Amino acid sequence: MTTDTPIQEVPAATAESGAPGDDVLIDVRNLSKHFQISRRENLVAVGGVDLSIGRGETVGLVGESGSGKTTLGRVMLRLTEPTDGEIWYGGERISHMSGKEFRTVRPKLQMVFQDPSNSLNPRMTIRTALRDAVRILKLPKDEREQRIAEVLDAVQVSDVLADSHPEALTGSQQQRCAVARSLVMQPDLIVLDEAVSNLDVGGRLEIIELLQDVQERFGVSYLFISHDLTAVRSISHRVAVMYLGLVVEFAPTDTIFESPVHPYTRSLLSAVLYPDPDAGLPEYVLSGEIPSPINLPPGCNLYSRCPVREDACESWDAELFPVERGGAAAKHTAACRRLDDILAGRA
Amino acid sequence: MLEIKNLTVGVPDDSGIGFEAMLDDISLSVDAGQSVGVVGEAGSGKSLLVHAIGGLLRAPVVPFGGEVLFEGRDMISMSADDRRLILGEELSLVLPGGRVRLNPLEKVGRQIMRVQRDHHDELSKVEAHQRAVQLLDRVGIPDPELRAEAYPHELSGGMAQRTVVAMALANSPRFLVADEPTTGIDVTIQRQILEDFASLIREDNVGLLIVTRDLGIVAHFCDRVAVVSEGRIVENAEVREFFKEQKHPVSRELMRATVLEREKAAEWSAAAASD
């Protein structure tokens, strides 16, 4: 990095102390998840991630297999416990709460899965499933029924559908119901893990629009995890790109798609096939294969495949650096040693 | 190479004499060295077409007329034994769903070896194993020697689907019928697999029928496109012509939805940027 400009503070706090500001709903600091497969094999699924999600905001999380995006979503909700780092939610460090304490927080953090059968009990009608979900809140009957009616209205599921079993519904209808099931808990955050990936284009458009309406109506935040870049672009305010367990670039959506800087982001975007035979197939830029996530060597994870690598990159410890200079706290960060060269067009 | 002639497939109706067509008078042909994309919304019948080609129709869904000729031989009316000689050897199917296509009780390397040795009993276990590892590598699976020893449940969804593709390619088939072969696979690997198919088509004169919902794949990897709606082919055109102008309302709607998705995405991100 050049020394003539002041270093900007990366907005997500890196110090492991202190609650984040009021607009921040979820703040994840240096979060890691390792799996010790055997005595000598350690798989780093998530390797030290800083991420924040604001109230009423959608953060898109993109990456390919092995990027750690699904694991990050699961760890954030403590569906699986982190190995290291902190998760802050509403001013509290939920990563370090006891199981009992966390259980009171959990209803506010919901998840919608790729396959609706992971959210919907096939033996219950939708309405019964919603009643079953709110049982834990011990609401009085009228309040419960009113909340269910409100939620079904918000996801535009008719009474006929609500009184059916999941198998009678189409894929996108099932996903509407899966969203309803998470909404009925009045969550602050919904993690959507490949929630539109099984749907065709019509279904995707429907669900994305639904999610946008729900966000406007209820102010809920989303972590939208997907490998589908178009879907991510349609709903996210900011996008984080992950590769082998680390966030390699984080910026407002438009910036990621219009002016990405990290070599991995660029190659990901160039692999998208546009429905235009004359558009030309861009050369896809990454060479080789994704290395094994088991016992990853230190240094930049992209080194073996990077089109702009230099020898020194092999031992460079990845860290997110701000991309712009001057003005307010950096909104665009990228983890590349050659950032300056890339911005100057030298790489 | 593959010629589908007036294929009609359906279920018998309540009258006992009539039937309800699920595929209605389908005619489509794919030459050697040609790639034809089959597109349509969910429920249009495109996957059923793949099942029919592979002789995988099961009661009550039965063929009511027409033929599926692979190099002149009718896949529908041939005996199961004859079909078994062809499938996996000269003509391979890639079906979607990844892990469900694999035997959960057998290591994936063994499954790829089995496909080879079923058709080539002259192959030794060592040779078949080597080729299995090569095939896993070819479809972009890291640590292929290690992964060959894994059971399907130990693989991610994307890897399982790639293994299915590897199995289809095991005996160097002359024709591939692929139903959503890259759904659930990373874009960069998808690109790799499609480029692999493209070079097979170009260099080895392999024929490809690919069912997909992704018009991007059709645009870059197909010569022709057939649009299926409610069991019928409503349009069959050369790809460049199709993208310039679609003739049938269903085709136009499909194109419109695809373009709309991209436009909405760009609109949203631009609006979010100005907030």
| Contact map slice: A 106-125 vs B, CB within 8 A | none
Instruction: Tell me the three state secondary structure of residue A235.
Output: helix
CA distance linking residue A66 with residue A46, whole number of Å: 9
CA of A101 to nearest chain B CA: how many angstroms apart? 33
Is B144 touching A (CB cutoff 8 A)?
Answer: no
Q: Are residues B235 and B188 in the same domain?
A: yes
pLDDT tens sequence for chain A (347 residues): 334 333 333 333 333 445 666 689 999 999 999 998 888 888 899 999 999 999 999 999 999 877 899 999 999 999 999 999 999 998 899 999 999 999 999 999 999 998 888 889 999 999 999 999 999 888 999 999 999 999 999 999 999 999 999 999 998 999 999 999 999 999 999 999 999 988 888 899 999 999 999 999 999 999 999 988 999 999 999 999 999 999 999 999 999 998 899 999 998 888 888 888 888 777 756 766 677 788 888 889 998 888 888 999 999 988 888 887 654 557 899 999 998 898 888 88
For residue A228, give the chain B residue with the closest CA. B187
Q: Are residues B7 and B73 in the same domain?
A: yes
pLDDT reported for residue B227: 96
Find the CATH number of the domain harbouring B37.
3.40.50.300
DSSP designation for A23: T
Quote the pTM value.
Answer: 0.81
Number of domains in chain A: 1
Cβ count within 10 A of residue A32: 20
The whole domain housing A311 covers 24-343
Question: Looking at B172, B197, B227, which one is the last position of a domain?
Answer: B172
Is residue B187 situated within a structural domain? yes
Is residue B136 situated within a structural domain? yes
Question: Looking at B140, B172, B204, which one is the last position of a domain?
Answer: B172
On whether the CB atoms of residues A34 and A44 are closer than 8 A, the answer is yes
Is residue A6 situated within a structural domain? no
Averaged confidence pLDDT in chain B: 91
Is A5 touching B (CB cutoff 8 A)?
Answer: no
**Alpha-helical segments (H) within A85-199:** 99-105, 126-134, 141-154, 159-162, 171-183
Q: Are residues B9 and B82 in the same domain?
A: yes
Is residue A130 situated within a structural domain? yes
Is A4 touching B (CB cutoff 8 A)?
Answer: no
Share of chain B above pLDDT 90, in %: 64
Is the Cβ pair A252, B273 closer than 8 Å?
yes
Name the residue type at position A54: G
- Sequence-distant (6+) residues with CB within 8 A of B267 are none
CA distance linking residue A134 with residue A137, whole number of Å: 5
DSSP designation for A88: E
Q: Are residues B1 and B80 in the same domain?
A: yes
Q: Are residues B163 and B199 in the same domain?
A: no
Is the Cβ pair A277, B265 closer than 8 Å?
no
CA of B189 to nearest chain A CA: how many angstroms apart? 9
Is A35 touching B (CB cutoff 8 A)?
Answer: no
Q: Are residues B13 and B143 in the same domain?
A: no
- Please report how the helices A126-134 and A141-154 are oriented relative to each other, as an axis angle in degrees rounded to 10: 130
Q: Are residues B77 and B2 in the same domain?
A: yes
pLDDT reported for residue A16: 40
C-alpha neighbours within 13 Å on the C-beta side of residue B95: 16
pLDDT reported for residue A279: 83
Q: Are residues B187 and B167 in the same domain?
A: no
| Contact map slice: B 195-224 vs A, CB within 8 A | 213-220
Determine how β-strand B175-179 pairs with β-strand B207-211.
parallel
The whole domain housing B105 covers 99-172
Q: Are residues B40 and B149 in the same domain?
A: no
- Sequence-distant (6+) residues with CB within 8 A of B245 are none
Which one of B44, B186, B240, B244 makes the best mutation probe of the A interface by having the most chain A beta carbons within 10 Å? B186
Is B189 touching A (CB cutoff 8 A)?
Answer: yes
Q: Are residues B139 and B178 in the same domain?
A: no
Q: Report whether the peptide linkage leading into residue A277 is cis, meaning its omega lies within 30 degrees of zero.
A: no
Out of B188, B243, B259, closest to residue A268 by CB: B188
Find the CATH number of the domain harbouring A143.
3.40.50.300
CA of B222 to nearest chain A CA: how many angstroms apart? 9
Rg over CA atoms, chain B? 20
Is the Cβ pair A234, B261 closer than 8 Å?
yes
Is A307 touching B (CB cutoff 8 A)?
Answer: no
Retrieve residue A319's tokens.
């860290």
Number of domains in chain B: 2
Is the Cβ pair B187, A230 closer than 8 Å?
no
Q: Are residues B157 and B180 in the same domain?
A: no
Which one of B191, B241, B256, B267 makes the best mutation probe of the A interface by having the most chain A beta carbons within 10 Å? B191
pLDDT bracket for residue B237 (50, 70, 90): very high
pLDDT reported for residue A17: 47
Is residue A5 situated within a structural domain? no
Q: Are residues B74 and B115 in the same domain?
A: no
Is the Cβ pair A290, B142 closer than 8 Å?
yes
Q: Compare B181 and A328 and report the one with higher pLDDT.
A: B181
pLDDT per position as a tens digit, B188-213 = 778 888 988 999 999 999 999 999 98
Is residue B154 situated within a structural domain? yes
Go through B51-86 and write b for each residue having 16 or more CB atoms within 10 A of its CB, e for each that does not.
Answer: bbbbbebeeebebbebbbbbeeeebbebeeeebeeb
Out of A170, A234, A286, closest to residue B264 by CB: A234
pLDDT reported for residue B257: 87
Is the Cβ pair A273, B184 closer than 8 Å?
no
